[in-house]
Amino acid sequence: MNTKITTYSLEHHKSLFNDANNVKEYFYIQAKDHPYISEPYRAESYAIEFLRKGSIVMQTKLKKVVIHAPAILTLGPSVIRSFTKDSDEILIDIIFFKPQFFLHNQANVFFLSQYDFFENSEKHVFNLQKKNKIKFEQIFNLLRQSIEHNSDNQPSILRAYLYILIYELDVIKQTNTNDTKQNPLFEKFKETLSRDFISQRSVQYYADTLNVSRKYLSEVIKNNSGKTASDWIDEIVVLEAKILLQNKELTINQISDTLNFPNQSGFGRFFKKCEGISPLEYRRKNV
């Protein structure tokens, strides 16, 4: 049974922006609109996005945030993400790149994975102060010029700018680290939930795993997020269900089994309680 999450190729991303250039291992675009994709997906490429103007809504796994310009977004291939419209006018620069492109001649194959802002949903967004806004405008302007003036050295030049972007973002992250730390129990809960939600959906399980009482865990999560532990569990299960429902080769019963429900009816009741419609109705309307 194939339960693979939908993954957008670099070719698909190019088509969303109506770009017909030959597909390479990287793709740069400056756009005045965004191909808002409301259904969760993954990508085969990394992306660094510079929102110059306007605002958009991004959800990564369980975190939904309204991003206002000027800001940088960083997304790794494994990140489950979706986008919805917030502003009528935006201006955004995006550089997509496959890991194999960036790692060309790089001895450390784990170079990108050491920067958690590509994968950690709490660190994808960098809100820019004035001096940093000017700096990233300059970098992205140079990046765009390199794309527009094609040369044999273009791949090497783009890699150099990507290194600069990553290092500059890391400087901002290190500067802000002390200001953005959240409750360690809340962080551990999210980490454990992401790992175990398929097989474990009781708040008591997570309390026992984290060696605290259910009441204390619930209080910490509510105080840090405004949502209950049960809300977090339900949301991640529904998100995974939506991803699986995109695959029309999977029956509702197969999805129910994959998500470890006792039967299809139980899955249907759960989904309808959370979304207001049945899994089949959701598939008909959205896939």
Is residue 273 predicted with pLDDT exceeding 60?
A: yes
Q: What is the CA radius of gyration of the chain?
A: 20
For the whole prediction, is pTM greater than 0.85? no
Residue 215's Cβ-count burial label (10 Å; 0-12, 13-18, 19+) is exposed
Residue 2 domain flag: no
Please give the mean pLDDT across all residues of the chain. 87
- Tens of pLDDT, residue by residue over 219-246, are 999 887 778 899 989 988 888 888 788 7
What pLDDT sits at residue 156?
Answer: 93
The total domain count for the chain is 2
What pLDDT sits at residue 116?
Answer: 84
CB 242 within 8 A of CB 274: no
Residue 1 domain flag: no
Tell me, yes or no, whether 39 and 136 share the same domain. Answer: yes
Tell me, yes or no, whether 149 and 243 share the same domain. Answer: no
Domain boundary among 119, 153, 175: 175
Tell me, yes or no, whether 138 and 78 share the same domain. Answer: yes
Q: Domain with 191 in it: what CATH number?
A: 1.10.10.60
Tell me, yes or no, whether 229 and 281 share the same domain. Answer: yes
Domain boundary among 132, 157, 175: 175
Reported as a pLDDT band with limits 50, 70 and 90, residue 195 is: confident
Domain boundary among 140, 175, 210: 175
- Tens of pLDDT, residue by residue over 126-173, are 999 999 999 999 999 999 999 888 888 999 999 999 999 999 999 998
Tell me, yes or no, whether 218 and 261 share the same domain. Answer: yes
Tell me, yes or no, whether 22 and 155 share the same domain. Answer: yes
- Tens of pLDDT, residue by residue over 15-31, are 888 775 666 889 999 99
The residue-averaged pLDDT of 187-191 equals 87
Tell me, yes or no, whether 47 and 102 share the same domain. Answer: yes
Residue 162: domain span: 7-175
Tell me, yes or no, whether 14 and 88 share the same domain. Answer: yes
3-state secondary structure the chain: CCCCCCEECHHHHHHHCCCCCCCCCEEEEEECCCCCCCCCEEECCEEEEEEEECEEEEEECCEEEEEECCEEEEECCCCCEEEEECCCCCEEEEEEECHHHHCCCCCCCCCHHHCHHHCCCCCCEEECCHHHHHHHHHHHHHHHHHHHCCCCCHHHHHHHHHHHHHHHHHHHHHHHHHHHCCCHHHHHHHHHHHHHCCCCCCHHHHHHHCCCCHHHHHHHHHHHHCCCHHHHHHHHHHHHHHHHHCCCCCCHHHHHHHCCCCCHHHHHHHHHHHHCCCHHHHHHHHC
